[in-house]
């Protein structure tokens, strides 16, 4: 009789990019980001994101993002619409554990009516988010997250199980980064960490201000306080220290 647990970890269940990756050594979100890019490329998707499910009507999309390759223009545009908590993606995934398929209207409200909804659909079309496949995943503590792959292709029969298994493995890698950096994160506020994370990704203060919906002056104050808390001499050293401490 075959052991079902062993069946799940056979090489056939993982694509080559995971079969050859040392997942046990992953410690930072940037390593997870690299693996997510490989996963998206393997399955033919252009965009991906992992975000915390919103718990109310006032959670901004950018604040809930954890890992994503969405370009800044797309994040800013969608964030400005304020549709994430009321989107079809959140509404559907909040009600099921099954994989969910979506089209251009996936990030718009279920009614897909109104000017804002039309703008969300237009944004999706402009950036190639024609089809999406999404999963709801939970951290060990029970916190709900969504993982979404988007692009211009449909999954072939048999690919869904492989993508889901890959998604679970990658999410486990991401959750390890929460544990590794948990104690150190208390030293910095969530906003300070967000500013450092976006700066490490190459964003300017002006771009970070737009992404987070705050003023450039406020962004600078977050950098100053983060630099002081990390005992760094400047912003670049603060980013380097934060990465070394696995805060970002």
Residue 219 confidence class, pLDDT cut points 50, 70, 90: very high
Distance of CA 87 to the CA centre of its chain: 16
Enter the pTM of the model.
0.69
User: For residues 64 and 48, what is the distance between their CA atoms, to the nearest angstrom?
Assistant: 14
Angle 56-216-239 from CA coordinates, rounded to 5°: 85
Query: What structural domains and CATH numbers belong to the chain?
Result: 15-178 (3.30.450.80), 190-244 (1.10.10.10)
3-class SS of residue 152: coil
- Mean of the pLDDT values across residues 55-61? 72
Share of the chain above pLDDT 90, in %: 43
Residue 76 confidence class, pLDDT cut points 50, 70, 90: confident
* CA-closest candidate to residue 92, choices 45, 53, 66, 150: 53
Query: What was the pLDDT predicted at 163?
Result: 92
- Mean of the pLDDT values across residues 211-217? 88
Residue 130 confidence class, pLDDT cut points 50, 70, 90: very high
Q: Does the structure show a pLDDT above 60 at 88?
A: yes
Q: Judge contact between 213 and 60, C-beta under 8 A.
A: yes
């Amino acid at each position: 009789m075959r052991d079902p647990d062993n069946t799940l970890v056979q090489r056939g269940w993982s694509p080559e990019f995971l079969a050859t990756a040392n997942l046990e050594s992953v410690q930072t979100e940037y390593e997870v980001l690299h693996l997510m890019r490989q996963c998206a490329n393997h399955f033919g998707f252009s965009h991906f994101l992992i975000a915390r499910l919103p718990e109310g009507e006032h959670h901004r999309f950018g604040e809930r993002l954890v890992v994503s390759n969405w370009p800044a223009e797309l994040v800013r545009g969608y964030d400005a619409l304020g549709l994430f908590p009321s989107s079809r993606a959140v509404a559907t995934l909040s009600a099921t554990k099954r994989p969910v398929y979506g089209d251009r209207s996936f990030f718009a409200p279920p009614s897909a009516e109104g000017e804002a909804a039309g703008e969300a659909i237009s944004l999706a079309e402009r950036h190639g988010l024609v089809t999406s496949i999404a999963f709801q995943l939970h951290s060990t503590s029970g916190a709900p997250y969504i993982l979404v792959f988007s692009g211009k292709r449909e999954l072939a029969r048999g690919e869904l199980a492989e993508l889901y298994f890959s998604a679970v493995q990658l999410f486990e890698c991401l959750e390890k980064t929460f544990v590794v950096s948990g104690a150190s994160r208390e030293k910095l506020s969530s906003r300070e960490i967000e500013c450092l994370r976006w700066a490490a990704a190459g964003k300017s203060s002006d771009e970070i201000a737009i992404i987070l919906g705050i003023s450039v002056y406020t962004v600078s104050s977050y950098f100053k306080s983060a630099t002081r808390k990390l005992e760094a001499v400047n912003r670049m050293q603060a980013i380097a220290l934060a990465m070394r401490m696995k805060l970002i």
